[in-house]
Amino acid sequence: MKTENQKAWFFVLPVLLLVAFNALIPMMTVVNYSVQETFGDNVFFWEGLGWFEQILRSDRFHAALGRQFLFTGMILIIEIPLGVIIALSMPRKGFWVPICLVTMALPMLIPWNVVGAMWNIFTLPDIGLLGYFMNHTLGIDYNMTQDPLAAWITIIVMDVWHWTSLVVLLSYAGLVSIPDAYYQAAKIDGASNWSVFRYIQLPKMKQVLTIAILLRFMDSFNIYTEPFVLTGGGPGNSTTLLSIDLVKIALGQFDLGPAAAMSLIYFAITLLVSWLFYTLMTQNDQK
Amino acid sequence: MTVELKNVTKSVGGVEHIKPVSLRLETGHFNVLLGETGAGKTSLIKLMAGLDKAASGQILINGQDVTRLNPQKRNISLVHQFFVNYPHMTVYDNIASPLKVAGMAKSEIRDRVEEAAKILQLEPMLARRPQELSGGQQQRCALARAIAKESSAVFLDEPLANLDYKLREELRDQLPELFAGRGAVVVYATSEPEEALLLGGHTALMHDGTVTQFGPTAEIYRNPKNLASARVFSNPPINAAPITKQGTQARLNANVKWELTGKAADLADGEYTVAVRPHYVSPIRHSAAHVPLTGTVQVTELSGSESSAHFTLGAESWVSLAPGVHPYRVGEDHEFFMDPSKCFYFAPDGALVA
């Protein structure tokens, strides 16, 4: 016999409450701001979708979005292959394993603003260890506070230093889970190192790599603290990434409406690209 | 074709994993490596396959010294206990992979893959990926790869260990037929004595890193050269106990004595070890010549057609295996009867003397 009632809702209720307080309610305040104009004193005027239109049409937003995609693209192009290469060259058993793992994990344990400050001091042209060495010993004109290219190289190198370890550790976890038997079979077949990578290691790493790419995409796309502390978005606006621009609008200019609209657009882009990545990468499996 | 080992040894960190082993394995029948886990079967296979380097000694395949050659130059195949296939290749590509690496022509690859797939009933699955197959099919795919390669030697390292009982029986029945007439030397490692007997051919008994005996399977089952070989090749474990020989009498303890006949009677007086297989120790006295033993029953197992009882005999634990159902009571004394004509006698150094 089948009974039909509405009891099931009670079981979903805790999750609904959690999600509501965790995500929906805070986000609704942003939605609230995004469609209104305020001059303080809790006085609001209905603005409709005006802020969204303004943001989507603004050159400033386009420029920041472009810089953001450039930054994230560079991060993924460098960190994913580099992380895989480092993981492949790490020992799989023996004395050096824990040493390598701890060394790899160290950069990730440093708080983000400390990373920014460290790299700022490290790269300052006259007093920084690296900055001084480049300018005065190697004679390379390097000044990340004035030269946009130098600033870009510095924030990318900093992120690579800080986060490649994550890709390394995830790939390494995938690699060590491959039984020796596979390598033995490949040896007997006489497979080349490239074939071993292509047909054994890469397929076995695929799932962790999917996660690594997703995490690195989301993290680098939403990055704020490190480049802000390092360059403050400068010189000029050359390293003003989306989140830095957002904070400038919201807290610098106190334009809460446009800032809220921009947050939602920002969020929608992150969500959309993550979903695209994930769908594309898992779709291959079913084929 | 032959695979020959001459005084091959292997040590890891100063510990000898393989003590000098000399063997001559030939084609035309299965060569079974039988030994308990840790006896050195896999180590020996790795040496023959070239996955490990021998510390000393020589390995010859078809008379050619391959001791220093890489695995791919030895023209061999290896099938593991785990189902090892390339995960993102189809079954067809998996079987074809060693042939492709060898640079064989496409049409010949197709012929060989199709033939191997036909023998192993994999034809409908050629386009699928290994993870879409059952365990038995995955292992058949690995076997097909070994067959298609037409190597000089095929090493099967407990290939059926991870299959369920039914599949294991089915595949085991097919194995000898699969390799018959292929010319490859087939080496099959197992820890189960029954498997060695079922597969026939020759068996090398391994114990503690060395081969204790090698020869036609049935022959070495009947005539173990020493106590270690007798123990390896017996399931349930062979019963053994120290005895004292005086005149023509063997004395196990104050109550268990029997008259020795034949070769055993001619032995010099002294200490020996008697060993007898569990199915020659019965709860029923079939003949007046059988020796009564009284032991305390510890564990009993009924399989329907057979009953086994583990009982203590002095300091030793013995097993009786008899057809039919017998009412044993755990913890109680029970009388068993040993057939003295089926006993092996070993000298204190372990060698068979009668």
CATH number at residue B176: 3.40.50.300
The residues, any chain, with a CB within 8 Å of residue A48's CB and separated by 6 or more, are A35
User: Does B183 lie in the same domain as B272?
Assistant: no
Q: Which of A188, A195, A199 sits opposite B88 (nearest CB)?
A: A199
Instruction: Give the whole-angstrom CA distance, residue B199 versus residue B29.
Output: 9
Chain B partners of A199 at a C-beta cutoff of 8 Å? 86, 88-89, 97
Main-chain dihedrals φ then ψ at residue A209, nearest 5 degrees: -65, -35
Contact at CB, B51 and A188, closer than 8 angstroms: yes
The reply to whether B88 touches chain A by the CB within 8 Å rule is yes
- The answer to whether residue A60 neighbours chain B at the CB level (below 8 Å) is no
| Residue at B354 is within a domain | no
β-strand pairing of B30-34 with B202-207: parallel
> Quick one: pLDDT at residue B282?
92
Q: How far is A285 from chain B (nearest CA, A)?
A: 9
Give the tens place of pLDDT for each residue, B118-149: 888 888 989 999 888 888 889 889 989 988 88
State mean pLDDT over B40-68. 90
Residue B353 lies in a domain: no
Residue B333 lies in a domain: yes
Residue B241 backbone dihedrals phi, psi, to 5 degrees: -160, 145
Strands B270-276, B239-246: parallel, antiparallel or unpaired by DSSP? antiparallel
State whether residue A35 is helix, strand or coil: coil
Sheet holding B30-34, edge to edge: B76-79, B153-157, B185-190, B30-34, B202-207, B210-216
Tell whether B53 and B83 lie within a shared domain.
yes
Q: A 234-263 residues with CB below 8 A of B? A: none
Return the pLDDT at A285.
60
- Please report, as a single letter, which amino acid is at residue B130: P
d(Cα A170, Cα A212) in Å, to the nearest integer?
Answer: 7
Per-residue tokens: A88 = 């492949």
A199 and B49 in contact by Cβ < 8 A? no
| Averaged confidence pLDDT in chain B | 89
Q: Which two tokens stand for residue A46?
A: 């209905």
Flag if A179 and B87 touch (Cβ within 8 Å). Answer: no
Cβ partners under 8 Å of residue A194, min gap 6:
none
Pairing of strands B281-282, B210-216: unpaired
Cα nearest neighbour of B51 on chain A: A184
Q: Are A38 and A256 spatial neighbours (Cβ–Cβ below 8 Å)?
A: yes
Task: Please compute the mean of the pLDDT values over residues B286-310 and round it to a whole number.
Answer: 89
Last residue of a domain, one of B211, B232, B253: B232
Which three-class secondary structure state does DSSP give residue A217? helix
Q: Are residues B255 and B223 in the same domain?
A: no
Shared-domain flag, residues B216 and B84: yes
Chain A nearest-CA residue for B45: A184
Which of B76, B84, B97 is facing A181, going by the closest CB pair? B84
Cβ contact A190–B98 (<8 Å): yes
In this predicted model, what pLDDT tens digit does every residue of B222-268 receive, in sequence order?
Answer: 999 999 899 999 888 899 999 999 888 899 888 888 988 888 888 88
Contact by Cβ (8 Å): B61, B153: yes
Domain that holds residue B325: 239-346
Question: B-contacting residues of A 175-204, CB under 8 Å?
Answer: 179, 181-182, 184-185, 187-191, 195, 199-200, 203-204
Provide, rounded to the nearest whole percent, the portion of chain B with pLDDT above 70. 100
User: Residue B190 — very low, low, confident or very high, per pLDDT cuts 50/70/90?
Assistant: very high
**pLDDT at residue A287, as a whole number:** 45
Average pLDDT over residues B159-169: 86
ipTM of the prediction = 0.74
The residue in chain B having the minimum alpha-carbon distance to the alpha carbon of residue A189 is B98
Q: Give the pLDDT of residue A239.
A: 87
Q: Total domain count for chain B? A: 2
Same domain, B187 and B294: no
CATH number of domain containing B334: 2.40.50.140
User: What's the pLDDT at A189?
Assistant: 83
B266 found inside a domain? yes
Q: Is the minimum CB–CB distance between B69 and chain A shorter than 8 Å? A: no
Torsion of CA A198, A200, A203, A206, to 10 degrees: -100
Mean pLDDT of successive 10-residue segments in chain A (287 residues)?
Answer: 77 89 87 82 80 86 91 95 94 90 92 90 87 84 85 92 94 90 86 86 88 92 89 84 86 83 91 89 65
Give residue A22's identity as a one-letter amino acid code. Answer: N
Domain spans, chain A: 74-233
pLDDT at B181 over 90: no
Q: What is the pLDDT of residue A103?
A: 92
Kind plus residue range of the DSSP H or E element containing A103: helix A96-109
Provide the 3-class DSSP secondary structure of residue A167. helix
Give the residue on A whose Cα is nearest the Cα of B146.
A189
The predicted pLDDT at position A166 comes to: 95
3-state secondary structure string, chain B?
A: CEEEEEEEEEEECCEEEEEEEEEEEECCCEEEEECCCCCCHHHHHHHHHCCCCCCEEEEEECCEECCCCCHHHCCEEEECCCCCCCCCCCHHHHHHHHHHHCCCCHHHHHHHHHHHHHHCCCHHHCCCCHHHCCHHHHHHHHHHHHHHCCCCEEEEECCCCCCCHHHHHHHHHHHHHHHCCCCCEEEEEECCHHHHHHHCCEEEEEECCEEEEEEEHHHHHHCCCEHHHHHHCCCCCCEEEEEEEECCEEECCCCCEEECCHHHHCCCCEEEEEEECHHHEECCCCCCCCEEEEEEEEEEEECCCEEEEEEEECCEEEEEEEECCCCCCCCCEEEEEECHHHCEEECCCCEECC
Q: Which residues from B are below 8 Å from A187, CB to CB?
A: 50-51, 70-72
| Of B189, B213, B232, the domain-final residue | B232
Distance from CA of A128 to the nearest CA of B (A): 49
Q: Which fold has domain A74-233?
A: MetI-like fold (1.10.3720)
Q: Are residues B255 and B182 in the same domain?
A: no
Contacts of B345 (CB under 8 A, 6+ apart): B243, B264, B267, B272, B273, B274, B275, B352, B353, B354
Searching chain B, which residue's CA lies closest to the CA of residue A202?
A: B88
Residue B7 lies in a domain: yes
What's the token pair of residue A274? Answer: 């993550």
A-chain residues within 8 Å CB-CB of B89? 199
